[in-house]
Chains A and B, each alone.
Chain A
Amino acid sequence: MLSIILLSIFGIVCLFLGFLKSKQVLLPAAMLFVATAFVVNALDWNRPVSYLNNMMAINNVSVAFIGIILLSALLILPLTQRYINDARAQLAEYYAILIFSLVGAIMMVSYENLIMLFIGLEILSVSMYVLTGSDKRNLKSNEAALKYFLMGAFATGILLFGIALLYGATGTFTVSGISNYVANNPTGISPLFHLGLLLVLIGILFKVSAAPFHFWTPDVYDGAPSIFTAFMSTVVKTAGFAALYHLLGVAFTGVYTFWGMTVAVITVMTLAAGNLTAVYQQSFKRMLAYSSISHAGYLLIAVVAFNAQSQEAILFYSLAYSLATVTAFGVLILVADQNAIDGRPNEDYGAFNGLAKSNPFLAFALTVSMCSLAGIPLTSGFFGKFFIFISAIEQHMVWLLVIAVLMSAVGIYYYFRVVIAMYMREGSTQTITIAPLYRLILIITTILTLLLGVAPGIIKGMV
């Protein structure tokens, strides 16, 4: 709760900092704000409380998810460094919006009332619409923002409609109330309830870009400035999955038979759509967009498995995925700017050719990140997948896993294309100068990825 209040204030402060002549102070200030929120959040560890007449509740699980969200944000912020010298960039606004969006994300993680979920989702989404279109001289960015906004507005409408139907059926907005309703009416569940459940599910699945609600993802990810794409694919995804699992795991536990199969089918579609389409991309950034869809698919496996392991598996996976994604976008931003064509960043695979020779550090960091996304041992991504797989194996979902395994093999194909480009092809990239803070971020994410890949016990078993 304190972190929400603090971040709201910090966001406003950030806007006012924009009036200062020097832009230099903005980044340290924003980082300090997020770091403060991170510490404040961590203080809630092992101290579960509920706020606002039980509209929100903080427990260890939500603290951990909020921790991942704030950590991702903290790691992403310094990657905005290139905007500091860009006169057109509205740095203060960017930071303020990012910080506001974090408030939404925290609400999505800790809601106990569907109204809070809705508000959180909206705060996060509206911020993202704006940031997607922030590169206003770029046609692709404008198009992406419009698309995202229109589609997102529809999805929000559907979500709200679903919440209304649930209210009609159960007479309550609270998560526990809905679960009580299911428990008390084992036979006479209203059809409105089922419809409401599906609509709410669609609303959230849209946000985490699960198929068949994923069509916005590639264009939006591609069009948005890379830094905000990184934010979207880490913070939004983590918050979305925390929200989804909380909803299904608490409110709808009793009707697993109803949504289990639906989500399983969506999982398979998501895995297939994400992985198979990613293979055909020529742009690294677009590939990352499809890869983000495929990761939604892996996370959904844990949702479908729905057992004691699931939540922890989602937690670990989100962390592993966020770390790797931050690295991937961090390197992408540098390389794409270096190889810019007509002033526009070049985000194709070709831009990475021969990177290992000119910039061994960047190549190594990106390789670790790609291995992690592909789920190869020694990286955290492996254990992420592993925990998800064992949660599904415990439920004997062999067919789902066989599909997931086949798709992982496909994943290796497109993730390693960039590794091959960096190490095995000849290229002309010059040595890229990396700011110390930027380098530090890449070092941290890489080390954490490797560390969790060797000693996952640090996180696993914590919650």
Chain B
Amino acid sequence: MLTLTLIGLPFVAALLLLLVKGDGVKNIAFVAALAEFVVAMVAVSQFSPEAGAQFAANYPWIASAGINFSVAMDGISLLLVILTTLLVPLIVLATFGHNYRNPSAFYALILFMESALIGVFTAQDAFLFYFFWEAALIPIYFLAGIWGGKDRIRITFKFFVYTIFGSLFMLLALSYLYFQTPGTHSADIKAIYDLTLDANEQSLLFWALFIAFAVKMPVFPFHTWQPDTYTEAPAPATMLLSGIMLKMGIYGLIRWLMPVVPAGVAEWGPTAIVLSIIGIIYGSVIAVRQNDMKRLIAYSSFAHVGLMSAGVFSLTTNGLQGAVIQMLAHGINVVGMFFVIDIIASRTKTRDLERLGGITQTTPALSVCFLILLLGSVALPLTNGFVGEFLLLSGLFEYNPWYSAVAGLTIILGAVYMLRMFQKAMLGDKVEAAEPFTDLTFSEKAVLFPLVLMVFWIGLYPNTFLHMTGPAVADILTKFKSL
């Protein structure tokens, strides 16, 4: 029932928002998102990690075809639900400084998106998963396409076609799996996990599924939509894309790829790792050269996600746990950073590093928050990024030390581009554009302080979360023990 509430609440709230006109919309959206967070916290309080998938709800959906509306949460799902329900209210709060036109549609789309995202993270039926997967795309397409920047039409369309194209192959793969299930067929995740497929089938299925997830994350060479889309989308859409939607890809790998085609993963996983590592280096090197702050973070996000995907394919407990905790950490950091950039951009009317400088002088609160989030991203010890990247790299090390060494460059390169950004934008002489720069307002603080708190929480005591996901991760890895 809790899972259903989590999916239904934002959906209903979004429908109601469509009926409301005027400025109150923001507040209603925020309250709804906050209520959603409270529900998620209730779920957390009742959660027991060892019990596997819980809070289950299962109703026949297309009864004649054995397709059910089946949702439940295990540790990994719950972690992502926490991430989603934590970030969405903050993202809504982050828009309080702006006045987007047609606000009821704008906030309704955000809440629709939240509902679909939670559906993706909790679906226990292959087709339900696909359904939510695509349903999450529609709101973000309109958010980016209607409220985005100058070149939004072309870019968001590219993003849209690109991701749909990837997902269609996933649909084929899932349908194929569905028909392999015995009897009258079932799309239930357990039935699909129990299939025995030959090596050739598994290889084909691996690619059909992997491409869908790789486009979403994105992994090299499927990333070309990402920097443009992140740059052109309005700030809240960018936060949704990078903070949560990107995790759909990683989650897909963990839930719908690895346990489903273990032999395929064993055969092609190494290729996927190489692609991911290319992405890490490639993204980082390009990020060093960027002057548009949003674009810089977009490339850094591309690099980070590469490491997560490599960690997943290392097939080690550390790698997988690292990927899971890093999903949470990255979501927090990247949303925080995009918000800081949004603040800077709306006050100075530019995101160009060459035209910024000296912002620290009048903004102690903003500077400190920015620095903490940035150091979290660079994986400084005591911050959330460190926990994630350390686990990821140690997982990768177990798999192959050389890969780990190369992937480890991400930390060094990360420090280079992040600190360069901070230095150029925040330090030095104050430029004209930054002249009347006021420090954080109350609502901005309300966004950034919780994020900063989370940076330290995960950095200092990651066990809160690792404890939650441990059994679920172990469960997935048992599939590989026999190989």
Residues of A near any B CB (own CB < 8 A): 371, 376-378, 382-383, 386, 389-390, 393-394, 398, 401-402, 405, 408-409, 412-413, 416, 420, 423-425, 455-457, 460-461
Give A410's nearest chain B residue, CB to CB.
B161
> What's the least CB distance linking B256 to chain A, in Å?
16
- Pair A390/B64 contact, Cβ less than 8 Å: no
> What's the least CB distance linking B59 to chain A, in Å?
11
- Pair B168/A460 contact, Cβ less than 8 Å: no
- Pair A457/B138 contact, Cβ less than 8 Å: no
> What's the least CB distance linking A349 to chain B, in Å?
13
Please tell me which one of the listed residues B65, B130, B178 contacts residue A377 in the complex, with CB atoms under 8 A apart. B130
State A462–B131 Cα separation when bound (angstroms): 22
- Pair A460/B178 contact, Cβ less than 8 Å: no
- Pair A394/B153 contact, Cβ less than 8 Å: no
CB-defined A-B contacts under 8 Å, sample of 16: A377-B130, A377-B134, A383-B62, A386-B171, A389-B171, A398-B176, A405-B169, A405-B171, A408-B168, A412-B160, A412-B161, A423-B142, A423-B146, A424-B153, A425-B153, A457-B64
> What's the least CB distance linking B448 to chain A, in Å?
32
- Pair B62/A461 contact, Cβ less than 8 Å: yes
Please tell me which one of the listed residues B63, B131, B172, B175 contacts residue A461 in the complex, with CB atoms under 8 A apart. B63
For A423, the chain B residues whose CB sits under 8 A away are 142, 145-146
* A393-B62 contact in complex given A409-B164, A409-B165, A420-B145, C-beta closer than 8 Å: no
For B175, the chain A residues whose CB sits under 8 A away are 386, 389-390, 393
> What's the least CB distance linking B112 to chain A, in Å?
10
> What's the least CB distance linking B342 to chain A, in Å?
21
> How does the 8 Å CB contact mask read for B399-416 relative to A, with 1 for contact and 0 for none?
000000000000000000
* A412-B164 contact in complex given A389-B171, A460-B62, C-beta closer than 8 Å: yes
> What's the least CB distance linking A421 to chain B, in Å?
9
> What's the least CB distance linking B266 to chain A, in Å?
23
State A420–B157 Cα separation when bound (angstroms): 9
- Pair A401/B60 contact, Cβ less than 8 Å: no
> What's the least CB distance linking B88 to chain A, in Å?
20
> What's the least CB distance linking A204 to chain B, in Å?
28
For A416, the chain B residues whose CB sits under 8 A away are 157, 160
State A155–B396 Cα separation when bound (angstroms): 66
- Pair B135/A377 contact, Cβ less than 8 Å: yes
- Pair A402/B172 contact, Cβ less than 8 Å: yes
> What's the least CB distance linking A352 to chain B, in Å?
14
Interface size on B, residues (CB 8 A): 30
Cβ-based interface call for B295 (8 A): no
Give A376's nearest chain B residue, CB to CB.
B134
Given A413-B157, A416-B157, list of 17 further CB < 8 A pairs? A376-B134, A376-B138, A377-B131, A377-B134, A377-B135, A386-B127, A386-B175, A393-B172, A393-B179, A398-B172, A402-B172, A412-B160, A413-B161, A420-B153, A424-B146, A460-B62, A460-B65
Give A462's nearest chain B residue, CB to CB.
B64
For A378, the chain B residues whose CB sits under 8 A away are 131, 134-135, 138
- Pair B142/A457 contact, Cβ less than 8 Å: no
State A393–B175 Cα separation when bound (angstroms): 7
- Pair B138/A405 contact, Cβ less than 8 Å: no
Q: In the A-B complex, list the 4 residue pairs whose CB atoms are closest, starting with the nearest.
A: A461-B64, A377-B134, A409-B165, A405-B168
For B138, the chain A residues whose CB sits under 8 A away are 371, 376, 378
State A389–B64 Cα separation when bound (angstroms): 16
State A401–B168 Cα separation when bound (angstroms): 10
> How does the 8 Å CB contact mask read for B344-359 relative to A, with 1 for contact and 0 for none?
0000000000000000
- Pair B134/A424 contact, Cβ less than 8 Å: no
Cβ-based interface call for B216 (8 A): no
> What's the least CB distance linking A285 to chain B, in Å?
22
- Pair B179/A461 contact, Cβ less than 8 Å: no
- Pair B168/A409 contact, Cβ less than 8 Å: yes
- Pair A390/B179 contact, Cβ less than 8 Å: yes
Cβ-based interface call for B449 (8 A): no
